[in-house]
Structure 1
Amino acid sequence: MTERHYDAGDTAEAVEPIRLSGPGLNEDPSALYERIRQTYGPVAPVLLEGDLPAWFVCGYAELERVTADSRLFARDTRRWNAWDRVPDDWSLLAYVLYNTSVMFTEGPLHQRRSAAISDALADVDQFELVSRCERIADRLIDDFAGGGKADLIGQYAERIPLSAVAAIYGMPESETPGLVRDIAASMDSGGSESMHAYDRVRERMRMLVETKREHPSADVPSRLIAHPAGLEDEEIVLDLLVLLSTAHQPTANWIGNTIRLLLTDVRFAADLSGGRASVGQALNEVLWRDTPVQNFIGRVASRDTMLGGRRLHAGDLVVLGLAAANADPAVRAAGRDTAGNSAHLSFGQGEHGCPYPAPELAEVIARTSVEVLLDRLPDLALAVPPEALRWRDSVLLRGLTGLPVHFSPTHPTH
């Protein structure tokens, strides 16, 4: 295969790509994104791990265009023109390897699947979800409340989202710990254990669909089975897996990033013992400034086109720079402040954005988790200097590896 020539547009000038990886991406992504924007403009040539080429969309308007046009910027990754260069152990393979889930389908098929998911999620009782999340949060806090210290990532934030999703799936509470372990293992890059873990989760979803077909209840799988779209069991299994994976780490990161903001930013510290406004503001600010999914891979150009002054060729891979687009100076110039503003792109947009009402349900889980924690442990404080906190090594996700805290020991609620 010939080397990719990044066309600067209507001129013949070649553009040198920048690596979208390394310490700068993990520790200070906003600085890297600003450097990319200053150097290349709203659409930049980048190299992903393994020197695989892609276009990085960091302009707010340009990203809106990409997400709005699902025919031109398509989701079926089989169109990618660099597949012959992708190694079998590529760490990002799971995010681009085509399967027949709702993530990669297009056109009427995607609309049918997405509508069924939205309808199934819309019937989730949000008041009951709050109650379930409160019970889950209380139980987790009880496990470490007496010790006066905890890691709020591993012991709290990463355990709540899957437990909540398992509840709306109608799964027995006894099965949740194993599901949490297998989902976490399946998302580790590479290794046979991650594949075995994924296979166990997929088999659990298959068994769940079989059970719900015989004994339906008021839960998401049962609603998908009964939906007028007439989904096949394999379609439901794959889409339940998608919901699990997209609910797990992003929501856990949202919880962890919000707690970090509340504990390190003086604007919020004074309000921790007050009303709920600061929690809502912190959740929203995280979506603007430390969004749990900072980049998304991706879209593939279905034909030659121009975007942000760059000429893209059919088959080129497009990376959605969600965090970078949120920080686009043009957004600030338009008077879009982050306070009370939900015009961020953190959940994507358009036909392949996060299906309604999934963002609402994620916010219920995140907000309840943070509020219960602050209620139970009002003198919560970081156990290390803020600069000692470390971010996960990921081009896609933005989340902490740990969040050590201390507090006054307290008795369990039960």
Structure 2
Amino acid sequence: MTSPYQPGAAPSPSCPAQAVPPPQEQAPPPGCPAHGAPQHQAPAQPDAHAPVKLYGPDFAADPHRFYRHLRQYGALAPVEIAPDVTAMLVTDYRAALDLLNDDATWSKDSREWMTTVPQDTPVMPMLMWRPNVFYSDGPAHVRYRDVIVDSFKLVEPHELRARVQHAADTLIQRFGARGEADLIADYARLIPLLMFNSLFGLPDSYSERLIAAIGGMLEGNSPEEAAAANEAFTTYIMELVGSKKGQRGPDLTSWFMDHPNALNDEELIHNIILVMGAGNEPLANLIGNALSRMLSDDRYYNTLSGGALTVHDAINEVLWNDPPLTNYSAHFPVRDVFFHGTWVRAGQLVMVSYAAANSQFDTTEALAPGSGSGSHLSWAAGPHACPVKRHALLIATTAIERLTAWLSDIELAVDHSELEWRNGAFHRALAALPARFTPISPDQAGATPWHNSDRSPMSSTRPEPTSTARQPASAH
């Protein structure tokens, strides 16, 4: 893209952050405020600096069209992530890596920014400062991160896999006899919650409370329902912490408490909430998005016993092309900075689009093999990269393998084009994933989830590690 500035001369800091107007080389996406006039009207003079809305049904249906348009601004583009809440979005892979690895220029502390936006904005829960690993810098961040990393290291992979299998079997028992299920509401969204309830040390009897609380916060139809769900979640967390203060166990809560970094009560609670929240939604979306690909693409399922590609391939393809968390890594520059062609004000919200950066490779010739182009950014990068991605991959892979092994003829109940995506600037998430299969029941002959105490179904995939090698984009 040709810069409007003279070569070698940076613009003045007084220049607005979104100073580089996009060239009009391709049609903008629907909903772009700079090009929104109906065709039958004479359009007003377009405002090339107006932020592009990253929410609404058009964005949910085809976000990659928006990303292609936003890349015309350069490495950063002005966006609106909620009414009256704007940000700069990094869509360039190299720029994303530069930001994610530079914690001297970019802070995670959102407290100053919070004073500049409506306090009731729906994106506040995702961006509000808390004393946890997401929103801290420097020594505080290292201190929190060490607690999380060291505690998860104590979770043995074979034990984690067994826990996932137990959770998967529990859920499949609920809908197996029906011959149909919504794989989002009945499976993908529940697996992480069952897992976290177990990993943090509460018995299975508490899992329904956690499921109801998180579901109410995500899907509450009114402020009253959302508030009641938040209160239920708070009560759950307080009971969890209280129980472990009375008696430790081999669980994450106890390990968080006993870590030599000595979290105080507030830090402990906020980091538990962070791990549960950050683990739940993206992991549920990863499982759902991978299942939608597998069940709609003959490369995965062309016979009852499986296809040419594996669960690992489906997950990897999702992480490249439809990351479960598409736009995040909120950062705030500690000073005015001229970053990849754009001035960004101190304290301004800048987010990274993992999806846009990942999909740039077909046009980026500069990223040669060995330069980092072999790694997607869906786990972020740098000091704030996901600290437990191996655990997340194991959970997602095992959950999908378990489902497709017990229900070997499972298929979508609707055409893939009819699937609907949830609205929101941060995630790529299906609203539902209706599927059908031959019913299974407790009294049938052979192995079923009801009779698996000492045996498991044969996996439909070969046991190989998930690769970060680039996968071809799916047509779906």
TM-score norm. by structure 2 comes to 0.79
> Mapping of 1:76-91 within 5 angstroms?
76-80=109-113, 83-84=115-116, 86-91=117-122
Cα deviation, residue 265, structure 1:
1.7
Cα deviation, residue 350, structure 1:
1.7
> Mapping of 1:15-414 within 5 angstroms?
15-37=49-71, 39-80=72-113, 83-84=115-116, 86-188=117-219, 191-270=223-302, 273-274=305-306, 278-296=310-328, 298-329=330-361, 333=365, 334=367, 343-355=375-387, 358-412=388-442, 413=448, 414=450
Distance in 1 separating the partners of 2:176 and 2:232: 32
Cα deviation, residue 277, structure 1:
5.5
Question: RMSD in angstroms over aligned alpha carbons?
Answer: 2.4
Distance in 2 separating the partners of 1:296 and 1:263: 28
Pairing partner for 1:6 from 17, 27, 39? 17
Distance in 2 separating the partners of 1:4 and 1:309: 12
- Extract unaligned runs of 5+ from structure 1: none
Cα deviation, residue 7, structure 1:
4.7
Cα deviation, residue 185, structure 1:
1.6
C-alpha distance after superposition, 1:305-333 (max 9, x if no partner):
11121011111110111111111136863
Contact 2:304 2:409 in 1 (8 A): no
> Percent identity, aligned pairs only?
33
Contact 1:79 1:300 in 2 (8 A): no
Please say which structure displays the higher CA radius of gyration: 2
Contact 2:17 2:345 in 1 (8 A): no
Structure showing the higher helix proportion among its residues: 1
Shifted more, 205-214 versus 188-197: the winner is 188-197
Distance in 2 separating the partners of 1:7 and 1:40: 8
For 1:6, what is the secondary structure of its paired residue? coil
C-alpha distance after superposition, 1:257-311 (max 9, x if no partner):
0010001122222377248951111111100011100011511111111112101
Cα deviation, residue 234, structure 1:
1.9
For 2:89, what is the secondary structure of its paired residue? strand
Contact 2:286 2:315 in 1 (8 A): yes
Change (3 A) 1:375 1:310: same
For 2:288, what is the secondary structure of its paired residue? helix
For 1:269, what is the secondary structure of its paired residue? coil
Contact 2:15 2:343 in 1 (8 A): no
Distance in 2 separating the partners of 1:409 and 1:187: 30
Query: Which residue identity is paired with 1:283?
Result: I
Query: Which residue identity is paired with 1:181?
Result: A
Cα deviation, residue 180, structure 1:
1.0
Query: Which residue identity is paired with 1:6?
Result: A
Change (3 A) 1:23 1:204: closer
Distance in 2 separating the partners of 1:71 and 1:169: 34
C-alpha distance after superposition, 1:98-135 (max 9, x if no partner):
22222212211111011111100111111111111111
TM-score norm. by structure 1 comes to 0.91
Distance in 1 separating the partners of 2:224 and 2:406: 40
Distance in 2 separating the partners of 1:172 and 1:101: 26
- Extract unaligned runs of 5+ from structure 2: 1-13, 21-46, 443-447, 451-476
Query: Which residue identity is paired with 1:73?
Result: W
Contact 2:54 2:424 in 1 (8 A): no
